[in-house]
């Protein structure tokens, strides 16, 4: 029997609810008792016991404390800390894919965009574990002993210690655990964070350490020699954000990635996608979905280290790339030279401020890959005043994507739509939408 007793100003300590669906980005939803309840775990059809945490005017936030009638799609999570970094570990991969497909169709494209849409091509991940080429993790100290730890969700000051992450390679995990030993032996109490990047091309590793004190090369003399003997480290870097100081302890400041034969140098703090196999799929769909020739001008907004612009430059007249990060721009220039791209023009600054001047060049193709907040209103407004022939919109947030499409589709129609499971075991996904001017 489902218990759903509500009071006007308070709710009971625990209740049983039946999960109806999983809403983006990963909250299990129930309409029990005439009020929406969101909890952190539960598959459609499951009866679960939840503990309410917070009551709002139109919904209740809760936490699942037990599963009374488990779904056939439920499995045992591999990590004790899975709710922090990969909260879909408790469901089979086929179930994860179906949930993400349903969210795109029902929660976003289907309900919010009231126009005829093409079918969404969903690309599942070929690897559902050990797929990430980057891990960012805190180092906390207890009784002079360092531990790896993730932040608790919504609690930056609270941590949960971990021993291993199954989303990255064994070599990355081994490096982090050997790093702890080196830090403990040498009393490196000032180190509070580590980032490891692994090249999918040659499996080399780039280790970046963060701390609260500026340091000199002598402070690290000989400390990491053991790591360099065991692991294929391309470089070790120390960064003190407080003083804006960077120190290359050993080797280079970058690793190399490849998409096909195209080479990309990626800096310690440069952005690059964390799932290269899926990035190759997305890049292939992009190249096959937009028409370019030696007369085509392409504009690439939020271009990072040049991933899509450099790929497209080989089949276009010129590419205008816009980026605001100084480090990304540094490697954008290096990558254009590395691949012998000469038809590449870089706009340094905020895309929202430069969009007008970019559109004056009359690009036929516009590629946008914004952060989670989506496009600035000024960008959408300028696009509608001088619309390019085609737009390729790459997004990591279906909510802001559909918001922006609601504006842009007054002048465009959606030609193709793709979704990519870049992040198995998590609620997140990437999308690519191809728009053609009406």
Q: Residue 110: its pLDDT value, please?
A: 62
β-pair partners for 50: 15, 64
What is the per-residue DSSP string for 211-276? ESS---GGGGTTTTHHHHHHS-EEEEEEEETTTTEEEEEEE-SEEEEEETTEEEEEETT----S-H
Task: Give dist(CA 69, CA 46) in Å, integer.
Answer: 6
> Which residue is it, tokens 């759903």?
4
Q: Residue 112: its pLDDT value, please?
A: 67
Q: Residue 109: its pLDDT value, please?
A: 75
Q: Residue 35: its pLDDT value, please?
A: 83
**Ranges in the chain annotated CATH 3.40.50.150:** 98-127+273-437
CATH class (in words) of the domain with range 98-127+273-437: alpha beta
**Ranges in the chain annotated CATH 2.40.50.140:** 1-74
- Assigned fold of 1-74: OB fold (Dihydrolipoamide Acetyltransferase, E2P) (2.40.50)
Residue 310 to residues 262, 361, 365, 369, Cα–Cα distance (Å): 8, 18, 14, 14
**Ranges in the chain annotated CATH 2.40.50.1070:** 134-256
Q: Residue 14: its pLDDT value, please?
A: 86
Between CA 95 and CA 100, with CA 98 as vertex, the angle to 5 degrees is 110
CB 192 within 8 A of CB 218: no
Between CA 360 and CA 369, with CA 365 as vertex, the angle to 5 degrees is 100
Count Cβ atoms below 10 Å from residue 8 Cβ, excluding itself. Answer: 5
- The DSSP secondary-structure symbol of 41 reads -
Give 10-residue mean pLDDT values along the chain (438 residues): 41 83 93 87 96 89 95 95 94 97 82 76 97 97 94 84 96 97 93 97 97 93 94 97 93 96 97 97 97 94 97 95 97 97 96 97 97 96 97 95 94 96 97 96
Q: Residue 113: its pLDDT value, please?
A: 73
> Which residue is it, tokens 């005043």?
385
Q: Residue 363: its pLDDT value, please?
A: 97
134-256 — its CATH code?
Answer: 2.40.50.1070
The tokens describing 415, both together, are 């030609």
CB 20 within 8 A of CB 2: no
Task: Give dist(CA 396, CA 373) in Å, integer.
Answer: 9
The tokens describing 74, both together, are 């439920």
Nearest to residue 23, comparing CAs of 15, 14, 11, 31? 31
The tokens describing 438, both together, are 């009406």
């Amino acid at each position: 029997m489902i218990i759903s007793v509500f009071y006007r100003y308070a709710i009971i300590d625990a209740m049983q609810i039946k999960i109806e669906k999983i809403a983006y980005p990963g909250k299990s939803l129930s309409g029990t008792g005439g009020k929406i309840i969101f909890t952190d775990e539960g598959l459609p059809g499951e009866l679960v016991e939840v503990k309410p945490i917070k009551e709002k005017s139109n919904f209740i936030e809760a936490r699942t404390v037990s599963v009374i009638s488990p779904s056939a799609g439920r499995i045992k999570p591999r990590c004790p800390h899975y709710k922090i970094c990969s909260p879909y570990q408790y469901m089979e991969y086929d179930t994860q894919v179906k949930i993400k497909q349903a969210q795109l169709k029902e929660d976003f494209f289907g309900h919010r965009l009231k126009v005829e849409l093409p079918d969404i091509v969903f690309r599942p991940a070929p690897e559902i574990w050990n797929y990430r080429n980057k891990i960012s993790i805190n180092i906390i100290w207890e009784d002079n002993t360092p531990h790896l730890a993730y932040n608790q969700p919504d609690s930056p000051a609270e941590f949960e210690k971990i021993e291993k992450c199954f989303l990255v390679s064994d070599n990355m995990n081994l490096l982090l655990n050997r790093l702890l030993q080196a830090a403990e032996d040498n009393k490196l109490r000032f180190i509070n964070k580590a980032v490891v990047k692994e090249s999918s091309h040659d499996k080399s590793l780039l280790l970046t350490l963060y701390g609260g004190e500026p340091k000199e090369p002598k402070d690290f003399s000989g400390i990491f020699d053991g790591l360099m003997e065991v692991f294929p480290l391309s470089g070790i870097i120390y960064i003190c954000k407080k003083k804006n100081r960077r120190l290359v302890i050993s080797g280079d400041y970058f690793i190399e990635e490849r998409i096909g034969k195209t080479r990309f140098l990626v800096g310690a703090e440069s952005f690059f996608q964390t799932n290269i196999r899926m990035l190759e799929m997305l890049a292939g769909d992009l190249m096959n979905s937009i028409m370019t020739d030696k007369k085509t001008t392409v504009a690439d907004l939020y271009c990072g280290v040049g991933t899509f612009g450099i790929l497209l430059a080989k089949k276009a007249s010129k590419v205008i790339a816009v980026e605001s990060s100084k480090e990304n721009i540094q490697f954008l220039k290096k990558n254009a030279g590395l691949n012998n791209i000469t038809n590449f023009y870089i706009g340094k600054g905020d895309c929202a401020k430069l969009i007008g001047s970019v559109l004056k060049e009359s690009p036929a193709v516009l590629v946008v890959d914004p952060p989670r907040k989506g496009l600035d209103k000024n960008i959408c407004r300028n696009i509608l005043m001088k619309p390019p022939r085609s737009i390729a919109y790459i997004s990591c947030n279906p909510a802001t994507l559909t918001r922006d499409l609601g504006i842009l589709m007054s002048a465009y129609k959606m030609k193709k739509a793709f979704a990519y499971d870049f992040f198995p075991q998590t609620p997140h996904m990437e999308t690519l939408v191809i728009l053609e001017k009406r």
